[in-house]
Structure 1
């Protein structure tokens, strides 16, 4: 627990002393305090905290507003501490960005238990495997290709596509604006030695054009470079909105 940095915000110095003493006895050593909202907001600009205990009734800015401003800068867990105990106060506090709520008078052991629970939750989130955003290709303004899920959307409509056609499209998406001969495409996508039959590749290109081109007879995505082969036109391989 000694590695965690805590910020306690309350205008009652005696209450801060009680909380700080209880937390230190439980192993928390890196503890900071503030008696006003302005002081608390200034502290988060220069220091990093793992958890904040925030009183709602402060002399300058109420704790709810302090929380709102903090949430524009940090995601640190915030436990509200207040003498108010109505359901609406609790709901409002949690809605504007609080993570937990303790009402006065309180038992120091309860506060410590809440602190530990929120720190464990935060640690779990930090250590959880991050979801990797699926690779997406924007072929133009209305065609999107999702590599991992094997999906093609045209004007937000899912388009069916056989596996080998999709493999060919993904290969070209991953190598945009580069010309490949029929021989190269056959070997890269089908993985077989090229025997001189162009029909397999050209038929798959033709089918893909019918799925993704606005006018398959005048393709603007899968284009033919006469005498050299095919290439997929893509300004940015992975564009984002």
Structure 2
């Protein structure tokens, strides 16, 4: 059983996005069509890139940047024919600066006939990704502890309501309940709230109910 003690607060995990988002930016007649797509692996990101290339087969460039992994440890980018360093890396820098992971950015460019220069390209590709991220529904990621609370059926309604209210005010999640010989409530609780949960359950049950702790896992939470 896990301990009710918790370690000091660590560096926050990178966030991710809830769903694909598209956005168009026009700079001096060039169209920059940006797709941000959540992914779980580099292979899935490459599949998204391939689909985008097929959809926009007539575009001149499909520049990409991807960040994958709980701690954003896998990162790749491509200029796809633009001058070196003017597209993929600036796109990747936006993703790094915004502290996001498990997503791929594809910026498809339809050339408008006006040269933008290296500086103009860097700004255009950076702004394309940044503006699209502004439109994306962000999911914050937190490490939470799986907790089960076993309750006699006679107390299930009252304790269930107590847990529901407790989760709403303590950043926890009440995942559900199972009913067999006793009622078992399943929660996800921030590590820093475990001691408080134990104390509040003891108070609500005159010391007869205590939480059983399981594994820690990364949970997506709407920002």
TM-score of Structure 1 vs Structure 2, range by shorter chain: under 0.3
Task: Identify which of structures 1 and 2 has the higher relative contact order when contacts are C-alpha pairs closer than 8 Å and 6+ apart.
Answer: 2
**Which is higher, the Rg of structure 1 or of structure 2?**
1
Q: Which has the higher strand share?
A: 2
Q: What TM-score do you get using the length of structure 2 for normalisation?
A: 0.27
